[in-house]
Structure 1
């Protein structure tokens, strides 16, 4: 692979559960831009289990758009670019498709090492089947039975501080060693040991039974210290190997990508963490990626990243898992029309069986986006406990920006439709910006960031991402129709200022086109906070326009929906109309 100074063209491929996407980036006027993108149905699953088929179709679309061939006669990727303009200078790949790695966690203290292991497992594509800890009431024989019954692909062992007591950890090592030795040789799980580093030799001595063993630095070297990154990298490597063994074609992606295909969640989160370092240090950055089989929620505060991959949530194969975290009635509360619970359930299970289908009727579209709201709400709710800020508050911590990715987001029939779904689901407070990733580019620029450091900021500032606009969400309670905010927008272009009074319960769009800037002055009424230091505090700031201009969401935080079904449906219709998303059947 060529050096980053020579890499003008970059090809990125992302293999998802439903879609495989390919994107070509090139330097235009001295800055990286996405110049073409292609999409195809993924072939990582049944019946082909070969990522190359879908990848070839997606790359074929890019090649047809650009006139650039990517492969030689032997179907090898041309790297670097040839003199005739074929091939690319660099290639990166990301993937979220593939079976989950069935995992058993083994550790000592539930609130210490096991908690850290649980947090780490929840940040990637592991499916934790069971946990074994020091306080486990099951005896050794029962613990062995747990491992035998689980038939795990991976055992993730933690426990003990560096230089601390070893007896309890050694007993667990011996229990796990005995259990794995009872499994057929070809079914023995991989083992990652991330506990007391003094026990590395003991682990290797007891696992001479054919199991693949990896020793990594302790995730809890002391009670006060947590070090997850080395173990995270090893787990990512194991997940990649697991997929390559079961799905053809990943070996090609790995070779072209310089050795490995990055996990989509890792690449997505890298961008979120980067943005938290360059945006307002007093606010966090929130990234939400809703796929067919996973919902990834990444939040970063001044470079401190927290991420959760919810493998039981998704707008496809994992959709039935949503009902373990919410109810059908909670889904229905976001609908602008009457739908029976049976219709919602039917939609959920049909979508799980046929995740690639798109809504054919307006009622189906409304149901899908109601489900999207609850998926995002469930994902955020289950993630916030690990956030560096605002974990205990009912309200969202201040965020700037909020980035949303995923097929349903990209398919929104109108910008306002996507915006309303995000406002309902996330319920941001104060001032933020809503950004859509319609071409699924965040994983691509995240994977390319180390190779091409400038690509992240340059592509994010390009037109490939859709800024829906600046959002102002006053926090406070009031009566419908009561004034909550006085606003003035002075365009930098010199046009007429826009002034208005915002009333409680309104959704208001004020014009400010994409690429335009203005000075926005906010004067909240007593009892309402827009983020300038407390309730009633006024202030001004420079804002950018977007697809919807400036969005004022004066519905209060948290949004309180009417318990009367007819009133609730009427409000949902009103909000769709106010945000410019009303659709005709």
Structure 2
């Protein structure tokens, strides 16, 4: 097992439901850099149900690029680095692949422990198939029937503050035990208890010999304190154990990583939380990932992480479920040209069957980006309900200040031009004030999170390198103004050029000023009365130093919230215009 205390070379593997990625990091001029990456189809599903083949193919691509031998003659990872330069010093692994974990949630009190458990379930790869609590009006027999009909892989039991309720919690445990023992021995669900910690020993004594039960830290140690982080890690172990029984190959990665393999969502949340501690404390850090089987929204405010994993929203297998929450008109409103409902439905169902397919036609690309917008909007709306007071949906309908926004997902990374990704994020997230859009094209964030526990500077070094692509600085004015009215004046001084840019922006505009990556500029903004650009209130001017990006300086004065035209022809016309404005089309 590597401690990564004196690590130079780190190999990271992330096993997704569609793709498996391998990334090799090494120290160059005193800083960690991405040396090579490989990507291969995942082999966790039928017919193989073994991730090893996908991992080997991804590693082979890294070997082909670097010439570095990673595996020995018996196909085992070489660690640490040999005198001949083979192998790596450390290995980390993350995974989101595997079947969904059918889960029944059993709580003590609605509004307290049950709500905390629901938030916990929403932050990881659980498919909730049943929920009840002590005050549920159903009879015990009906609750047992619920468990039997749900056929869960896992039962999460919560309740009682530390030192609080005991008898009622034990009553719930006994009910769960009775139901679980009615299953055949090889089909019994695993039980995770995350309630009153003082009952842990008693619960283990009562049912530990009869059932598979794991004790986790209390999700609600007191009425005013919620602690999901520690329980999430324990729950992750239970999820991993269940996954390993159905899909082969994970045991090998566990061995290579010294038993520190993480769920992709947990690792993703870790890197976002870490970055929130080193960036502007007045703002949060937002991470969004549009995957095939789920969508992740991670927001952290001075280390306070709020992680959401939407297992029913993704651009793969769960795509048809989007239609239960969004209408076809909700999807088509983002298209720059007319498309029939039949074409949209055909694409949705074909994509759900073949999630690895890549758009080859322009219409397919635009539709997939429209689907990504709607998925992100729904995911963010759900996630913000669980954000801290003052930043949640109850406090404000507008997005709170965040810096930066880190986005990943194949739909964004493989867009033919960066403007497509930038406009998708602007439409879906509607950032306010001043922020930076950063694209993670190689899907490195989970790997950085997995390694950051031992090598925290890895995240910062790689984020500041060319491995992450800055799309540009975004200025999104907030305030009421008529269309066409001036909302701000700007003065841009490029550090590498003697030419300044002076201008004004009007309501409804999407304005782009190209600033190349690697260049910097001094930006002065003077908003009109009643317009807030993020300098402390409406009408307040300010200046800051900004960096260039693949798109440049983006001034999105289309309004917050973004209101699309009601007339379909006018709406499509504007959608096309914005694609040209942001450089996605020429």
TM-score range, shorter chain: over 0.9
Aligned to 1:188: 188
Three-state SS of the structure 2 residue aligned to 1:280 is coil
- Taking the TM superposition and a 5 Å limit, the aligned residue runs for 1:453-472 are 453-472=456-475
How big is each residue's C-alpha offset from its partner over 1:11-61, in whole Å with a ceiling of 9 and x where there is no partner? Answer: 111111111111111111111100111111110111111111111111111
Question: For the residues of structure 1 that align with 2:523 and 2:9, how far apart are their CA atoms?
Answer: 39
Aligned equivalents of 1:266, 1:487: Cα separation in 2: 41
Per the alignment, residue 391 of structure 2 pairs with: 390
Which residue in 2 is equivalent to 1:289?
289
Q: 1:475 aligns with which of 474, 478, 483?
A: 478
Please say if residues 177 and 211 of structure 2, whose CA atoms lie closer than 8 Å, have aligned partners that are also in contact.
Answer: no
Alpha-carbon offset, residue 451 of structure 1:
2.4
Partner of 1:37: 37
1:514 and 2:517 matched: yes
2:538 to 535, 538, 548: 535
Q: Tell me, in whole angstroms, the C-alpha distance in 1 between the residues paired with 2:537 and 2:200.
A: 53
Question: Partner residue of 1:301?
Answer: 301
Residue 499 (structure 1) aligns with: 502
Give unmatched runs, 5+ long, in structure 2. Answer: none
Contact 2:233–2:266 under 8 Å retained in 1: no
> Is 1:408 aligned to 2:411, yes or no?
yes
Hey, what does 1:165 align to over in structure 2?
A: 165
Aligned partners of 1:473, 1:218: CA distance in 2, in Å?
41
The SS at the match of 2:123 is: coil
Deviations 1:288-332 (A, max 9, x none): 011100100000111110000000000111111212222111110
Shift of 1:221: 2.1
Aligned-pair distance for 1:443?
A: 0.9
Structure 1 residue 546 corresponds to structure 2 residue 549: yes
Aligned partner of 1:526 among 503, 506, 529: 529
Using the TM superposition, give the Cα deviation of residue 126 of structure 1 relative to its aligned residue in structure 2, in angstroms. Answer: 1.0
Determine whether 1:205 maps to 2:205: yes
> Offset at 1:164?
2.2
> SS at the partner of 2:385?
helix
Preserved contact between residue 491 and residue 525 of structure 2 (Cα < 8 Å): yes
Would you say 1:436 and 2:439 are equivalent positions? Answer: yes
Structure-2 residue corresponding to 1:357: 357
Output one character per residue of 1:423-444: Cα deviation in whole Å (capped at 9) or x when no partner: 0000000000000000011111
State the TM-score, normalizing by the size of structure 2. 0.98
Q: Does 2:137 align with 1:137?
A: yes
Asked whether the equivalents of residues 181 and 209 of structure 1 are also in contact (C-alpha less than 8 Å), the reply is: no
Equivalent pair of 1:177/1:206 in contact (CA under 8 Å): no
Matched residues in 1 for 2:145 and 2:326: separation?
Answer: 33
Q: Secondary structure at the match of 1:386?
A: coil
Shift of 1:494: 4.6
| Distance in 2 separating the partners of 1:229 and 1:118 | 14
d(CA) in 2 for partners of 1:27, 1:221: 42
In the alignment, what sits opposite 2:28? 28
Report if the CA contact (8 A) 1:432-1:470 is conserved: yes
Number of aligned residue pairs: give it.
Answer: 583
Equivalent position to 2:453, from 440, 450, 454: 450
- The equivalent of 2:175 in structure 1 is 175
Structure 2 Cα separation of the partners of residues 92 and 165 of structure 1: 40
- Match of residue 573 from structure 1: 576
Moved more, 214-223 or 174-183: 214-223
Q: In the aligned structure 2, how far is the partner of 1:410 from the partner of 1:525?
A: 36
Q: Tell me what 2:325 maps to.
A: 325
Equivalent residues in 2 for 1:257-296, closer than 5 Å: 257-296=257-296
Q: How far apart are residue 269 of structure 1 and its match?
A: 1.0
1:68 pairs with 2:71: no
Q: Which runs of 4+ in 1 moved over 6 A?
A: none
Contact 1:240/1:261 (<8 A) preserved: no
Provide closer, same or farther for how the CA distance between residues 213 and 3 of structure 1 changes in structure 2, counting only shifts above 3 A.
closer
1:12 is matched with 12
Secondary structure, aligned partner of 1:111: coil
Mapped partners of 1:342, 1:463: distance in 2:
41
> 1:284: how far off?
0.8
Q: Structure 1 CA distance, aligned partners of 2:280 and 2:162?
A: 38
* Equivalent pair of 2:5/2:454 in contact (CA under 8 Å): no
Contact residue 240 and residue 260 of structure 1 kept, 8 A:
no
Cα distance in 1 for residues equivalent to 2:176 and 2:4: 45
- Structure 1 CA distance, aligned partners of 2:363 and 2:202? 61
Q: Kindly provide the CA deviation profile for residues 463-492 of structure 1, in whole angstroms up to 9, marking residues without a partner as x.
A: 000000100000123222211110111122
Aligned to 1:222: 222
Structure 1 residue 550: Cα displacement: 0.5
Whether 1:425 aligns to 2:428 is: yes
Distance in 2 between residues matched to 1:63 and 1:214, nearest whole Å: 40
TM-score, structure 1 normalization: 0.98
Judge conservation of contact 1:290–1:407 (CA < 8 Å) in 2.
Answer: yes
User: For structure 1, which segment, 109-118 or 212-221, has the greater mean C-alpha deviation from structure 2 after superposition?
Assistant: 212-221
1:119 aligns with 2:119: yes
Offset at residue 527 of structure 1 (A): 1.9
CA deviation digits over 1:565-585, x for unaligned, max 9? 0000000011001001127xx
Q: CA deviation at 1:5?
A: 4.3
Q: CA deviation at 1:108?
A: 1.3
Deviation of 1:452 (Å) = 1.8
